Structure 1
């Protein structure tokens, strides 16, 4: 089988057609998909009617899947590999994930095994909005001055789930006991500010407004100006792609070289229901030591 790949924007993103993900894939097709993903960082498979079992089978072609023990409260009732992002009521209660992803971030960068690939499947989408934006962090790094790149190459930054929940106003609506348990399961980590992609060899910025609080060895106040510059620089329009979802889209993106943002551009009067898989990544970053934690 030979897939067809159509770029969707200048910066990143491509549509992949000519493949039926409801059926097992041969090695050659899987390799073609891998190459398209590495080349475009975000790929979409439109018109795929996937049961959870088939989405999981496809995800396993790219590595071990996360069972979401770090955020265990929002899993599919029958499949631990699927994390529900939905504004439907669950058990008669308001969904705790209806406003997930409202800040720019890279999935699970607050852990020492950050996500390699995320695969998000659209089950329901509002008639207008519900879009997701992506930023190319290769371009964000490569367009910085040589002097600044040299400085950043040597730095680490603190990523934490606690920063994400405290800086995101939508988390104030979540169950505080669940949030406290999530913080305990995911203590702050130090990640490289610049990450070299293990497959492409390109360097990418690895910071985000959602999960990066400050540079290791610096205070928040000292870090604030440069971090804000990098946040703003990373999401310039020429570095981004905005995906307008259709039902049965499967989107796959590379967290090692992209950030994403779920836009609040729709009404919760209409359902938005997604199934998310995440492929566990190789070790990256480290736990902070006692002195660094105290300084944080």
Structure 2
């Protein structure tokens, strides 16, 4: 069960960790935490809060890339960030670090995803085994915009009418691998807008979380999604009906970033999106991604 209000996870060596629920469908802030110096008891409290609340926020951290990698590895093995179009790593010698940024140096971008809006999505759901979780650490933030919203796919599934739950119980969905969350064509992929022929993994539409055992809707992203075995028009209509629930604010929480914020989200049971911001303002985030251990089921 998710916790609400203020909670304290006490540790006899390093003092209390305070947990403050956002009051929304998901999300909680942890206070009294230095992510560079956690004992087993503190980490256990953090992991429990993450399972309970799906997204956790820890403010006022001072992390270098090695600190971020070390904390991330406590959750599991890390993915390597993709090679940039320049042929280089985002951070030489640290392949686990992905830079999310609109900043350029000598005419070349230091990161990816820019300043546009990112639509609702789960990270890399087009893979057979998507990442378990993602972690984002704020180094520079714009004065306005660039907020990140998170949506609880537990809450979305629970809100579906019974007749809709019955309709989708055994359906599978193809998660498109043609375009990323910013709408850009992925490297090496032939463009197509026919969801029946586009590349991507097929997963159950309704899944059970492997740790919490809670049921959830697993949509991934809307563009080029396809419900396997249905006529295209029927698939489109049913997906539109499901996505109408995602758009409802009662299932979401919006985070307004500050420098030093670290946010960890469960990629299996949440989706997220980013607001646009002034492209002349700087935004630099460093991201790590924890590998998944099994396909959604």
**Hey, what does 1:10 align to over in structure 2?**
24
Question: Gaps (5+ residues) in structure 2?
Answer: 1-10, 192-197
For residue 8 of structure 2, what is the aligned residue in structure 1? none
Q: Deviations over 1:62-105 (max 9, x none)?
A: 0000013xx32263233111111001115522454214771110
| Matched residue, 1:48 | 61
User: 2:172 corresponds to which residue?
Assistant: 156
| TM-score, normalised relative to structure 2 | 0.85
On the 8 A contact 2:139/2:286 being kept in 1, the answer is yes
3-state secondary structure, aligned to 1:261: strand
Residue 82 (str. 1) matches residue 93 (str. 2): no
Farther off after superposition, 111-120 or 146-155: 146-155
CA distance in 1, matches of 2:77, 2:235: 35
* 1:220 match: 232
Q: CA 1:155 to 1:133, structure 2 compared with 1: closer, same or farther past 3 Å?
A: same
Judged with a 3 Å threshold, the aligned counterparts in structure 2 of structure 1 residues 196 and 283 are, in CA distance, closer, same or farther, namely same
- Seen in structure 2, the aligned counterparts of structure 1 residues 121 and 143 have a Cα distance that, compared at 3 Å, is same
Distance 1:136 1:211, change over 3 A: same
- Pick one of 276, 292, 295 that aligns with 2:287: 276
Structure 1 residue aligned with 2:246: 234
CA RMSD of superposed structures (Å)? 2.3
CA contact (8 A) 1:195 1:256 kept: no
- Aligned residue number for residue 129 of structure 1: 145
Determine which structure has the larger helix proportion and give its number: 1
Structure 1 spans left out of the alignment, 5+ residues: 173-177, 287-296
Name 2:72's counterpart in structure 1. 59
* Conservation of the 8 A alpha-carbon contact between 1:75 and 1:81: no
Alignment partner of 1:93 is 2:101: no
Q: In structure 2, what is the Cα distance between the partners aligned to 1:160 and 1:103?
A: 14
In the alignment, which residue of structure 2 is the partner of 1:201?
213
**How far apart, in 1, do the equivalents of 2:149 and 2:33 lie?**
25
- The 5 A counterparts of 1:21-40 are 21-23=35-37, 25-40=38-53
Q: Does 1:179 align with 2:222?
A: no
Between the aligned partners of 2:90 and 2:122, the Cα distance in structure 1 is: 19
Aligned length in residues: 272
More strand by share: 2
Corresponding position of 2:3: none
* Contact 2:152 2:270 survives alignment (8 Å): yes
Q: 2:127 aligns with which of 111, 124, 128?
A: 111
User: Cα gap change, 1:160/1:101 in structure 2, threshold over 3 Å: closer, same or farther?
Assistant: farther
CA shift at 1:48, angstroms? 0.3
Counterpart position of 1:294: none
1:189–1:285 contact (8 Å) kept in structure 2: no
Structure 1 runs of 4+ with >3 Å offset: 208-212
Distance 1:220 1:99, change over 3 A: farther
Calculate the TM-score normalised by the size of structure 1. 0.85
